[in-house]
């Protein structure tokens, strides 16, 4: 007999989420940072299985679930390709001396007491110009992390400053896909959406910069340049440090500004890095390849290795050695595995109607303007945790709450701003979200380590909720001009 389809209860819809949360917490407690190496992936698949069992009870067919899984995983393929290319780009940029040169000149220029403050500002500018937090973190962010480590700063603090700046630019740039997506979901003009976001985003960024400035100034001796000269000497003696190497990252940034898609832009940057390695770093080519006397063969072997596997470059300084290593595409495979498992879970939850049922329950709790904005923000965070995808955290709540915002006489830019303040910026804080797994892998810093220091990402949703409850600059439908 065929089971008649029925709507799941709220308890049924929430059960897979509770299952996921409990066992992810157990994994983190038992495995720590290694939880991303397999145990979390298994829990995501088991949670998908639990959701599928509930779906069967409500009359959803396996074919429908399978279609949802395929669609969900397929939507992540672009992110997976970008992630693999970022791994290869990091390899050729290390081989060519680009990243070491960034570290070298950065150590000479940056004052350690304002390093966190400056890093956040620089990443904000680059991400605003390019519209891509991923590209900013993968290029400039990696270099800044190396500089910060050389200055003796904790990885979590450095990564927090980098991510805070990168995600400010991502949510405010007209070139950003999430900025365009949020404005489209709320049917708001793109530049009206951006202007309206400045009301909450500006104070969030100012508070963030003040926090990083205070932390940098008060750290005292921990950030003094006591060991910088040996590091500079080690870099200078190992690599051909050259300002011409900056042509490659400049090319990538230029391509992104010109709206060249991320995949061809990153591939171009990867290949250009390999070419510059042949031109400027023949000694590194020989060291990495292990081939002597045949430079053409050595170049091919070294470039290929830098793109697909682990490489490390040896100097006479132990700290520098820790900086000069990368995993290539192979280093991204755990993250790819995690993303695919997360999208399987999200696909089952979506196609089974469980996510829709949860959001219906949220809407019933709305009693005021402030609670509506808070519920929208909370739902965005919820989808970042459960659906494991930044785009779903914007699209689904955007569809859910559009009519409710109209009922409360709120202009649509209130919705678009809330989607960005909560969905875009919190995705990187979830270890199994596509953004969280990508940035933690690219930087080599666990999500749980940088989480407390991503001040901008933590403040933004609180700021938009505060504005809602205090009725600060909340645009009403009746005041809009036709």
Q: What is the mean pLDDT of the chain?
A: 85
**Position 72 pLDDT exceeds 90:** no
Query: With pLDDT > 90 as the criterion, what percentage of the chain qualifies?
Result: 38
Instruction: Give pLDDT tens digits for 442-466.
Output: 888 989 899 999 999 999 999 999 9
Q: How far apart are CA 392 and CA 379, in angstroms?
A: 11
* Helix or strand (DSSP H, E) at 326: strand 325-326
Token output for 54: 């509930």
**Position 1 pLDDT exceeds 50:** no
pLDDT recorded at residue 391:
77
Query: 474 or 392: whose pLDDT is higher?
Result: 474
Query: With pLDDT > 70 as the criterion, what percentage of the chain qualifies?
Result: 94
Contact criterion met (CB below 8 Å) for 201 and 172: yes
pLDDT recorded at residue 142:
82
Question: What is this structure's pTM?
Answer: 0.70
Instruction: Give pLDDT tens digits for 363-376.
Output: 788 889 999 999 99
Contact criterion met (CB below 8 Å) for 99 and 444: no
**What residues does each domain of the chain span?**
10-76+332-479, 78-331
Q: How many CA atoms lie within 13 A of 151 on its CB side?
A: 30
Nearest residue to 187 (alpha-carbon basis) of 419, 459, 465, 359:
419
**Position 480 pLDDT exceeds 50:** no
Instruction: Give pLDDT tens digits for 400-446.
Output: 788 889 889 999 999 999 999 999 999 999 988 878 888 998 888 98
The CB density around residue 199, as the number of other CB atoms within 10 Å, is: 17
Q: Residue 257, Cα to own-chain centre: how many angstroms? A: 19
Contact criterion met (CB below 8 Å) for 319 and 149: yes
In this predicted structure, which of 41-55, 217-231, 348-362 has the lowest mean pLDDT?
A: 217-231
């Amino acid at each position: 007999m065929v089971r008649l389809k029925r709507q799941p209860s709220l308890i049924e819809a929430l059960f897979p989420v509770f299952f996921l949360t409990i066992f992810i917490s157990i994994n983190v407690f038992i495995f720590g940072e290694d939880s991303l190496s397999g145990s979390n992936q298994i829990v995501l698949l088991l949670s998908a299985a639990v959701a599928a069992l509930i779906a069967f009870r409500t009359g959803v067919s396996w074919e429908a679930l399978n279609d949802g899984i395929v669609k969900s995983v397929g939507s992540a393929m672009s992110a997976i390709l970008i992630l693999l290319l970022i791994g290869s780009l990091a390899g050729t940029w290390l081989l060519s001396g680009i990243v070491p040169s960034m570290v070298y000149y950065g150590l000479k220029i940056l004052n350690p007491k304002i390093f966190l403050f400056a890093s956040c500002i620089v990443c904000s500018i680059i991400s605003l110009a390019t519209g891509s937090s991923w590209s900013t973190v993968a290029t400039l962010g990696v270099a800044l992390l190396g500089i910060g480590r050389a200055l003796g700063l904790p990885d979590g603090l450095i990564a927090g400053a980098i991510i805070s700046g990168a995600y400010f630019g991502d949510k405010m740039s007209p070139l950003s896909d999430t900025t365009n997506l949020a404005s489209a979901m709320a049917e708001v003009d793109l530049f009206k959406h951006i202007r309206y976001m400045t009301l909450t985003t500006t104070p969030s960024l100012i508070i963030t910069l003040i926090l990083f400035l205070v932390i940098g100034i008060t750290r005292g001796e921990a950030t003094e340049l006591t060991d910088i000269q040996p590091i500079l000497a080690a870099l200078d003696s190992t690599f051909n440090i050259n300002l011409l190497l900056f042509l490659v990252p400049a090319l990538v940034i230029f391509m992104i500004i010109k709206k060249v898609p991320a995949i061809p832009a990153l591939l171009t940057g990867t290949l250009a890095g390999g070419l510059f390695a042949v031109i400027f770093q023949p000694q590194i080519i020989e060291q990495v390849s292990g081939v002597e006397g045949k430079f053409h063969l050595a170049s091919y072997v070294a470039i290929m290795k830098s793109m697909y596997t682990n490489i490390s470059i040896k100097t006479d300084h132990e700290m520098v050695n820790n900086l000069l290593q990368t995993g290539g595409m192979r280093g991204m495979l755990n993250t790819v595995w995690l993303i695919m498992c997360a999208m399987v879970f999200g696909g089952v939850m979506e196609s089974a109607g469980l996510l829709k049922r949860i959001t219906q329950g949220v809407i019933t709790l709305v009693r005021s303007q402030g609670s509506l904005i808070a519920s929208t923000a909370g739902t965005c965070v919820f989808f970042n945790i459960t659906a494991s995808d930044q785009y779903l955290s914007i699209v689904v709540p955007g569809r859910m709450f559009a009519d409710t915002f109209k009922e409360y006489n709120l202009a649509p830019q209130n919705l678009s701003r809330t989607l960005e303040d909560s969905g875009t910026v919190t995705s990187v804080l979830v270890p199994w979200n596509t953004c969280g797994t990508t940035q933690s892998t690219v930087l080599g810093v666990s999500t749980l380590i940088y989480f407390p220091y991503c001040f901008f990402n933590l403040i933004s949703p609180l700021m938009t909720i505060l504005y809602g409850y205090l009725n600060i600059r909340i645009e009403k439908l009746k005041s809009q001009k036709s």
